Amino acid sequence: MTLERQKLAAEAIETAATMLKCIGHPVRLQIIELLDREGEQNVTAIYEALRIEQAVASQHLNLMRDKGILASRRDGVNVYYRIDDPRVTRVIDCIHHCEL
């Protein structure tokens, strides 16, 4: 019953597009990659690894959390972010394996 090439419902299209657009930004994509490779990281580790402003990192992290792409937990003064959308991880893997 499952079609190989299925058609997404209108709502699914919207959420998928939102997710893809969200990770379709160089900084956010690098954050995703970092979290995918290294597991959850706090904000300092992220903005130092990417050599970006703290505020910029925080804004992108918040955006992705709002969209359900990332989740966070606070441990004392640190806030650790992790990937929370399985589709994101799979999309990243796809892209890696598609390098031609």
Partner DNA sequence: CCTGGATATAGATATATTGCTATGTTATAA
Partner DNA sequence: TTATAACATAGCAATATATCTATATCCAGG
Q: Which parts of this chain interact with a copy of itself (CB under 8 A)?
A: 5-8, 12-14, 16-26, 28-30, 33, 36-37, 86-87, 90-91, 93-100
Neighbouring CB atoms inside 10 A of 70's CB total 24
Check: CB of residue 27 under 8 Å from CB of residue 56: yes
Is residue 76 near DNA by the rule CB under 7 A?
A: yes
Among a copy of itself, DNA, none, what binds residue 61 when CB lies within 5 to 8 Å by partner kind?
DNA
Dihedral sign, CA of 9, 85, 92, 47? positive
Window contacting DNA (CB under 7 A); options: 8-16, 37-45, 88-96 = 37-45
